[in-house]
Amino acid sequence: MSAPKATLLEHEVTDSGAEVATVTLAHPPLNLFDRSMLDALIADIAELSARPPRAVLLRAEGKVVSGGVDVHVFDGLTVEQGAELWRTLFAQIIHPLEALPCPVVFAAHGLTLTAAFEIALACDILLAAPKAKFGLVETVVGLTPSMGGPQRLAERAGSGRAREFVLTGDLYDAATMADWGVVNAVHDDVDTAARQLTHRLAQGPTMAHAATKKIIEAWRSGGVSHADSVTPEVSAGLFATDDLRGAVRSFLAVGPGKASYSGR
* Domain, as residue range, for 227: 206-254
CATH number of residue 30's parent domain: 3.90.226.10
Q: How many folded domains does the chain comprise? A: 2
CA-to-CA distance for 227 and 218, rounded, in angstroms?
Answer: 5
Contact indicator for 112, 133 with CB cutoff of 8 Å: yes
The residue length of the chain stands at 264
- CA within 13 Å, CB half, 32: 9
Q: Give per-residue pLDDT as tens, 33-54.
A: 999 999 999 999 999 999 999 9
Q: Are residues 119 and 230 in the same domain?
A: no
Contact indicator for 190, 128 with CB cutoff of 8 Å: yes
Contact indicator for 227, 219 with CB cutoff of 8 Å: yes
| Other CB atoms within 10 Å distance of the CB of residue 221 | 10
pLDDT at site 2: 59
Share of the chain above pLDDT 70, in %: 99
Tell me, yes or no, whether 78 lies in a domain. yes
Tell me, yes or no, whether 2 lies in a domain. no
Q: Give per-residue pLDDT as tens, 67-107.
A: 999 999 999 999 999 999 999 999 999 999 999 999 999 99
Q: Are residues 173 and 211 in the same domain?
A: no
Q: Give per-residue pLDDT as tens, 19-37.
A: 999 999 999 999 999 999 9
Q: Are residues 151 and 34 in the same domain?
A: yes
Record the pTM.
0.96
Q: Are residues 129 and 196 in the same domain?
A: yes
Tell me, yes or no, whether 16 lies in a domain. yes
Tell me, yes or no, whether 179 lies in a domain. yes
CA-to-CA distance for 25 and 40, rounded, in angstroms?
Answer: 9
